[in-house]
């Protein structure tokens, strides 16, 4: 994709939803994948955090020769150091996931970076189609597989949606051998976070269906009526056309056929 674009992918430590174990974050992995597609080997992958974290080897195993680490304590604020880094790196496209899988996972980081760098931000990108003449054509992911096309001027920050191309397999060997460039940066403590109380997620109460019956008879009915369901309707003896009509009515009712 000429001319050469300087792409930076920001990665964080993910969290497996079932085991809670560290992993390559789903969206960040896609950000690296998209970055590799755009700029092949010249992609810069940056992590702000612990350089010893073994999960970084999983990112490196996607075929990165090196990975840049801006060392940070767990309670550090990644924003200022990333702003400094991006300013000095002459990045043109910065890719991240929409939300981190660990920490606050607020999804604010890309917005704050964009604000401080004065760059535009494209949210929930599914694909970057072209980059030419200082602008990129980007496809945004909308719900249910829909897409929107947007043109954005360089440099910009994009958050990568789950609809983007899946991250390639991570290979053990290259990951093990990749070179980690650990930069010397000052870390800034995230003061606000220290005042928070963090606990394991409580299950959210399910919203109950409140019966708004105005009369005694209605309330009686609501209390004694059998729950709907328990085996659907089965059509056996009707004609094929009638059966098809029944199906089609259901499709219309559910608004999947419009």
Partner 1 sequence: MILDWLPPTLIGFLLVLAGIGAIRRMNLWRAGQAEKVNILAGLLAMPKRYLHDLHHVVERDKYMSRTHVATGGGFVLAMVLVLFVHLFGVKSEILAWALLAALVLMFCGALFVYKRRMNPPSRLSKGPWMRLPKSLLTFSITFFVLTLPAAGILPEGTGGWVLTLVLSVLILMSLSEMLFGMTWGGPMKHAFAGALHLAFHRRPERFGGGRSTGLKPAVLGEASHGVAKPTDFKWNQLLGFDACVQCGRCEAVCPAFAAGQPLNPKKLIQDMVVGFAGGTDAKYAGSPYPGVDVGNAKGAPDQIITNGLISSDTLWSCTTCRACVEECPMMIEHVDAIVDMRRFLTLEKGETPNKGAQVLENIIATDNPNGYSPASRTHWAADQNLNLMKDVKQADVLFWVSDGAFDMRSQRILRAFVKLMKAANIDVAILGDEELDSGDVARRLGDDAAFQSLAKRNLATLSKYSFKTIVTTDPHAFHCLKNEYGDFGSDALKGVEVLHHTTFLNRLVKEGRLQLDTFKGGKVTYHDPCYLGRYNGEYDAPRELLASLGIDVAEMERSGYRSRCCGGGGGAPITDIPGERRIADMRMEDVVSTGAEMVAVGCQQCTAMLEGVVEPRPVVKDIAEILVSQLSEEVNS
Partner 2 sequence: MSEFPSTEATSSGLLRRDPRTEWIARNRLHPLHSSVVSAGQGEVRGPTGLLRKNPHVIGFIGPNGIKRIDRANLSAAGLNSKKRAGEAKEVQLPLHVVDNPDGYIMVVADMIGGRLTSHDKDILGLAHQLVAENKAADKGNIAVVLVCFGESKETQFDLAGVDRLLHITGQEFEGFAPEARLSALMQIEAQYKPENWLFPDSIHGGTDLACRLASRLGERPATQAWQVTATSTVSRGASGSCDISRETPRILMLMEECANAIEDTRHQVLDLEFDVNSVDTGDNYRLIDQGQIEVDSNAVPLAEAEFILSAGNGIHNWDQFHAVAAALRATEGASRVAVDDGFMPRSRQVGASGTWVTARVYLAVGISGAIQHMQGIGQCDKVVAINTDAGCDMVKRADLAVIEDSEAVLEALMKLAQEHYSSKEQEKSDAA
We find the least distance from the C-beta atom of residue 62 to partner 1, in angstroms, to be 7
From candidates 8, 92, 124, 170, binder to partner 2 by CB under 8 A = 124
CA separation for the pair 141, 126 (Å, rounded) = 5
Q: Is 194 in the site for partner 2 (CB under 8 A)?
A: no
Token pair 């949606």 is found at: 161
Q: Tell me whether residue 33 or residue 127 sits nearer to partner 1 (CB atom).
A: 33
User: According to the binding rule CB under 8 A, does residue 223 interact with partner 2?
Assistant: no
Q: How far is the CB of 139 from partner 2 (least distance, A)?
A: 7
Segment 86-115, which members bind partner 2 (CB under 8 A)? 99-108, 111-112, 114-115
Decide which of partner 1, partner 2, none touches 3; Cβ closer than 5 to 8 Å per partner kind. none
Is 63 near partner 1 (CB under 8 A)? yes
Element (H, E) at 47: strand 44-49
- Is residue 143 within the footprint of partner 2 (CB under 8 A)? yes
Q: Is 12 in the site for partner 1 (CB under 8 A)?
A: no
Report the nearest approach of partner 1 to the CB of residue 101 (Å). Answer: 12
Pairing of β 135-141 and β 121-132? antiparallel
Kind plus residue range of the DSSP H or E element containing 168 = none
Query: Which of 73, 78, 13, 68 lies closest to 35 in space, CA to CA?
Result: 68
Taking the least distance from each CB to partner 2, the nearer of 41 and 214 is: 214
d(CA 89, CA 85): 6
Residue with tokens 């051998």: 177
Q: Which is nearer to partner 2, 111 or 180 (CB)?
A: 111
* Chosen residue from 9, 23, 159, 178 binding partner 1 by CB under 8 A: 23
Residue 198 burial (CB count, 10 A):
7
Estimate to the nearest angstrom the gap between the alpha carbon of 108 and the chain centroid: 12
Closest CA to 165 of 15, 2, 38: 38
List 129, 151, 171, 222, residue binding partner 1 (CB under 8 A):
171
> Residue-wise over 101-110: b if at least 16 C-beta within 10 A, else e?
bebeeeeebb
Which CB, 63 or 80, lies closer to partner 1? 63
Is residue 225 a contact residue for partner 2 (CB under 8 A)?
A: no
Contact call for residue 169 and partner 2 (CB under 8 A): no
């Amino acid at each position: 994709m000429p001319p050469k674009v300087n792409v930076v992918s920001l990665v964080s430590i993910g969290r497996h939803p079932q085991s809670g174990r560290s992993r390559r974050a789903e969206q960040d992995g896609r950000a690296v994948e998209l970055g590799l597609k755009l700029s092949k080997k010249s992609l810069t992958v940056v992590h702000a955090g612990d350089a010893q974290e073994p999960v970084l080897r999983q990112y490196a195993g996607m075929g990165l020769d090196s990975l840049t680490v801006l060392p940070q304590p767990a309670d550090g604020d990644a924003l200022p150091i990333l702003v400094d880094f991006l300013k000095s790196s002459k990045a043109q496209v910065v890719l991240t996931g929409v939300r981190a899988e660990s920490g606050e996972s607020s999804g604010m980081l890309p917005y704050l970076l964009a604000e401080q760098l004065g760059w535009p931000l494209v949210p929930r990108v599914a694909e970057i189609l072209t980059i030419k003449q200082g602008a990129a054509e980007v496809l945004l992911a909308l719900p249910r597989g829909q897409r929107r096309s947007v043109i954005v001027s360089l440099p910009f920050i994009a958050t990568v949606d789950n609809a983007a191309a899946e991250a390639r397999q991570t290979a053990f060997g290259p990951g093990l051998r990749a070179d980690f460039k650990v930069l010397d940066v000052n870390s800034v403590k995230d003061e606000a976070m220290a005042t928070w109380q963090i606990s394991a997620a409580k299950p959210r109460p399910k919203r109950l269906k409140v019966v708004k019956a105005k009369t005694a008879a209605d309330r009686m009915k609501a209390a004694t009526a059998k729950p709907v369901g328990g085996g659907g309707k089965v059509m056996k003896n009707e004609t094929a056309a009638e059966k098809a009509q029944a199906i089609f009515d259901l499709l219309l009712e559910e608004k999947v056929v419009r």
